[in-house]
Structure 1
């Protein structure tokens, strides 16, 4: 199953340059890297990245992350995937720009 991380362009560029990341400031503060499922990602974008341009969506195979990935209760009691180790560039299955059209982020068809 693929899970998804939304990056600001500078965060994505940093991952690409260094080969791994401990995440965005919110991830560093919380002690884990936040991910979303395909169903959760649009709400995550709307809540935490409203109006933001230059975003990158990265897909990661959840099972490949092993025991470092924990499914924990978060927003509205839903289970969200949280990674308790750095995310490596090698973990990324694919990435795509996440354009903003008419105030909403447009997600790739391949997520469904």
Structure 2
């Protein structure tokens, strides 16, 4: 299994829980959904979500994604996975609470 990860607020997740696909706000504003490799999750949490409560970590099997996944360079020169389309929920294998 080729796991990648997405951080989402519990509120945002609950609003789309009944849908077959998940669309992060970044899909509309940037054209893709931000994801992380396992070793990038803690840095992403510390950089962007330090004071955000009620977060969930989605464990995503990249091999089951139905839209294009690209690894692209970020501001710190690291390669991050970006999903160019909604996240099909059947690719999510586990959800952890991050509180």
Residues in 1 aligned to 2:39 and 2:63: alpha-carbon distance in whole angstroms: 18
Question: What is the SS of the residue equivalent to 1:51?
Answer: coil
Residues in 2 aligned to 1:90 and 1:33: alpha-carbon distance in whole angstroms: 16
Which fold has the larger relative contact order, with Cα–Cα distance below 8 Å and residues 6 or more apart in sequence? Answer: 2
Structural RMSD (CA):
1.5
Structure 1 residue 26 displacement after superposition? 3.2
Runs of 4+ in 1 over 4 A off after TM superposition: none
Q: Which has the higher helix share?
A: 1
Structure 1 residue 67 displacement after superposition? 6.1
Structure 1 residue 86 displacement after superposition? 0.6
Residues in 2 aligned to 1:67 and 1:56: alpha-carbon distance in whole angstroms: 22
Q: How many residues of Structure 1 are paired with residues of Structure 2 in the alignment?
A: 98
For residues 9-40 of structure 1, what are the alpha-carbon distances to aligned partners after superposition, in whole Å with 9 as ceiling and x for unaligned? 111112312221221x3342111000001111
Question: What is the SS of the residue equivalent to 1:76?
Answer: coil
